[in-house]
Structure 1
């Protein structure tokens, strides 16, 4: 009988998580966040950097921006360790980002995703996100981005 993996714990990222965040970031090609950027986001009152921890190790993170004076939150980045895929961590981090945005009184969450990232696009669609457009040549390798949005109050974005 296969043993189930223990549930992930979601929490605010801490400066001591920087090394683990950089390890996660290095697992993905291109457009990586630098140590300086992570440090700035950790200290920013308008950013929510949350991590999923499993068995004492970082298994994923989500970075949410909450611009002052705006009713829209932006999911800037979400990453899950490839070895942890299929365990629902992406959905867990996404739901947590939505909760963070609602708690900050934002009525909509928007994000961009690589147009070739089928798994992430499927995750967003399952969670009720609607495609709002395409941004040509968005990523450093020339890949287009798809913009998605979701109203957090139940109305259409």
Structure 2
């Protein structure tokens, strides 16, 4: 579909709301962010919504990261890649941008959770230097298990 070299990562804007919600609904069957949640995160100092695209309204993926005051750990709350863009480096580009953002905010680590039944995502995180910290039994809304991962952000 799209080589990773042409993927642009930018901050989401209010005009992206429809596309953000559509990708969320397309990507997840449970634990979805609602339109109201996306809208709140777009205006929040403690959250950042990133968009991967090849141009205006050509959404390939999104990432939502949270920052807590006086915490050195950022949390990647959600990452979604359009099904047609999977395997094209979009997830890696979003993770890299999220890590850079966390470093700029002086975070020492980035944490995330992934479904235990999503081995492709777990492999991506491990390949990019994330280490598994904990098993999360019945973590997801539908009762699915998960894993918590962390990457130290040095340099």
TM-score range, shorter chain: over 0.9
Distance 1:140 1:29 in 2: 10
Equivalence for 2:33: 33
Compared CA separation, residues 151 and 4, structure 1 to 2 (3 A) = closer
Structure-2-length-normalised TM-score: 0.94
Distance 1:100 1:76 in 2: 14
Residue 121 of structure 2: SS of its match in structure 1?
Answer: helix
Q: Deviations over 1:5-25 (max 9, x none)?
A: 571111000000000001100
User: Residue 72 of structure 2 contacts residue 108 of structure 2 at CA under 8 Å; is this kept in 1?
Assistant: yes
Distance 1:54 1:121 in 2: 25
Distance 2:75 2:19 in 1: 23
Distance 1:77 1:4 in 2: 22
The structure with the largest alpha-carbon Rg is: 1
Equivalence for 1:66: 67
Equivalence for 1:19: 18
Distance 1:17 1:4 in 2: 20
Structure-1-length-normalised TM-score: 0.93
The alignment yields a C-alpha RMSD, in angstroms, of 1.4
Distance 1:55 1:86 in 2: 19
Residue 107 of structure 2: SS of its match in structure 1?
Answer: coil
Equivalence for 1:84: 85
The CA deviation at 1:4 is: 5.8
Counterparts of 1:107-118 in structure 2, within 5 Å, are 107-118=108-119
Residue 59 of structure 1: SS of its match in structure 2?
Answer: strand
Unaligned runs of 5+ in 2: none
Equivalence for 1:50: 50
Distance 1:53 1:91 in 2: 13
Q: How many residues align?
A: 152
Distance 2:30 2:72 in 1: 30
Distance 1:53 1:87 in 2: 12
